Amino acid sequence: MKNANEIKFLKNRSIIKFEGEDFLGEIGIDGRIFKALTLARISVGVISQQAIENGISILVQENDAEKAVACLIDEFEPERKSGKVSQIYSINNVSVIGFVAKDSNKVFAELARNNVFPLLLNHVAGENRVNIVVTSSQDEKTKNIIESEIFKKPKTVHLAIIGHGNVGKTLIEQVLQSSEEIRRRKKIDLKVVAVANSKKIAFNKKGFDNSWSDEVITAESPSNVQELINFSKENQLENLIVVDNTASKDFVKNYHALAENGFDLVSSNKIFNTLPIEEYRKLRYTLNKNNRRYLYETNVGAGLPLIDTIKLLHLSGENITRIKGVFSGSLSYIFNNFSVRNDKFSTIIGEAMEKGYTEPDPREDLSGNDVARKLLILARELDLINEFQDINIQNLIPGNLLTVEKNEFISRLDELDAEYQKIKESQEPGHVLRYVGDLHGNLQEEKGQLDVKLVSVPGSSALGQLKGSDSIFEIYTESYGENPIVIMGAGAGAQVTARGVFGDILRVSETK
């Protein structure tokens, strides 16, 4: 005996579309269709009337489609001549999926989230039975989504990891190590099905294992977003997330196309969120239109829950009046140490480079641009329309060293020592140096004031007590007055950043 909850799956079907303006509801039309097709020995599946389209749709075996169209054209020749029937044609390569669901709306919501929109729908209300017709290019994906919803099977989430440097590599390892536990605890089956660098992309429909790096080395497909989109469609992959672990200005140009082709976005790449406000808003519109999500918690505080906190406060109507802090793990390490040790400024920078806290060219950090980008991202979370050029940035590099080659700059680091020793010694007693980002002014207006600069603060203050490479963020609000919400912790490092990206992946997965 068949299980009532069993999913019916019929491939190789065709829809015969029968369209006209005035015949809907006319007695005998259905009977004539059945009779003509029965005489032609054609088995009919679903008959569905679409009042909006002024038409009737009939389901037949695909190899009967041509014969069925010819048969109905003959049967309704007078109506075709009079214009009552406008056209009769077939849509081939479709599949039927039948299932029983108490809440079919939830199933349809999941299908829509994955860009699956049934061509035909037949609902037997009393039995909670639903028959849907989809293109054969989406039938396996549709079946997987329905099975996951009805039988509460683990939901498969397909990940495409772009960039496998320090953060990307660590993230892949974290996903592989945690996948069994996440499957058991959260009923989510995470599969890394694509890994790309700037030159090539590797695919594995079943999901990569610990030998993923070997498969990337031997991959032959060029690193191209269209390759990824084609792969996802050809293999009918549902619940797609692309994870951008690059710092690429070029890759972010693909965010729109990815969102339009069914991918949610998770990114540690700060570039997109600091593009001109018009581009920023355009992506939000694309995401909203396509019911896609874009999470980027690690854009500012690595693994710290900063952006999420600000979003929640802002959405709840809390008036945020100022955000201030040490945004850079590398500059945190440099000034935390330089302020309390007798070593030269250049020595401390060298240490930070050796520990991997700075970019390969430390001017990326010392220029203040990284802190400025982070500050701008927070400003835009408050719906401010500031642009990058609005930010007042104190560049820590002397003008004569801005344009020299990286290696020459590193060899001349000691030229910074005298200036910074002087700054350090000119402080008030008990004060220390901190490089801070400060968003202030009237944040209820269109633009706030954004400053990125080196300041001297009391060693006993929250900023002054910072240690190691930690970051600290002070969020001032109307309700909390002079007592800010303080978020402090590790603000740099591949492990911390990858863990933050992983958290975003899980949040997107749980809401799919």
pLDDT of residue 62: 94
Using CA atoms, how far apart are residues 71 and 482, in angstroms rounded to an integer? 81
Residue intervals of the chain classified under CATH 3.30.360.10 are 306-492
Residue intervals of the chain classified under CATH 3.30.2130.10 are 7-151
When the pLDDT of each residue in the chain is averaged and rounded to a whole number, the result is 91
Residue 2: pLDDT band with limits 50, 70, 90: very low
pLDDT of residue 46: 63
Q: Using alpha carbons, select from 320, 317, 290 the residue that is nearest to residue 441.
A: 320
Q: Is 374 annotated as catalytic?
A: yes
Lowest mean pLDDT among 41-50, 199-208, 312-321, 462-471: 41-50
Residue 149 has pLDDT above 80, yes or no: yes
CB of 94 within 8 A of CB of 133? yes
State whether the Cα torsion 163-166-171-174 is positive or negative: positive
The mean per-residue pLDDT over the stretch 323-351 comes to 96
Residue 177 has pLDDT above 60, yes or no: yes
Q: Which residues have CB under 8 Å from 236's CB, separation 6+?
A: 137, 138, 139, 140, 141, 144
Q: What ranges make up the beta strands (E) of 139-297?
A: 155-162, 188-196, 200-203, 221-222, 240-244, 263-267, 294-295
Residue 302 has pLDDT above 90, yes or no: no
Amino acid (1-letter code) at residue 274: T
Residue 1: pLDDT band with limits 50, 70, 90: very low
Query: Annotated catalytic residue: which of 374, 447, 453, 512?
Result: 374
Q: Using alpha carbons, select from 137, 244, 153, 129 the residue that is nearest to residue 194.
A: 244
Architecture in CATH of 7-151: 2-Layer Sandwich (3.30)
Residue 3 has pLDDT above 80, yes or no: no
Estimate the share of the chain in helix, then strand, then coil, as percent rounded to the nearest 5. 40, 25, 30
User: Sheet holding 200-203: strands in order across?
Assistant: 221-222, 200-203, 188-196, 155-162, 240-244, 263-267, 294-295
Task: Tell me which residue has tokens 């240690």.
Answer: 467
Q: Using alpha carbons, select from 298, 348, 213 the residue that is nearest to residue 493.
A: 298
Q: Which fold has domain 155-299+499-510?
A: Rossmann fold (3.40.50)
Q: Sort 21 into a burial class: Cβ within 10 Å, 0-12 / 13-18 / 19+.
A: exposed
Q: What CATH number should be reported for the domain whose range is 306-492?
A: 3.30.360.10
Of 85 and 429, the structure prediction assigns the larger pLDDT to: 429
Lowest mean pLDDT among 123-127, 218-222, 276-280, 328-332: 123-127
Amino acid (1-letter code) at residue 132: I
Using CA atoms, how far apart are residues 367 and 146, in angstroms rounded to an integer? 52
pLDDT of residue 52: 44
Of 397 and 102, the structure prediction assigns the larger pLDDT to: 397
Q: What is the pLDDT of residues 243-300, one digit of tens each?
A: 999 989 999 999 999 999 999 999 999 999 999 999 999 999 999 999 999 999 999 9
CB of 453 within 8 A of CB of 434? no
Where do runs of H (alpha helix) occur along 400-470?
Answer: 406-411, 417-425
pLDDT of residue 30: 76
pLDDT of residue 85: 85
Q: What is the pLDDT of residues 413-461, one digit of tens each?
A: 999 999 999 999 999 999 999 999 999 999 999 999 999 999 999 999 9
CA 371 to chain centre: 23
Residue 356: pLDDT band with limits 50, 70, 90: confident
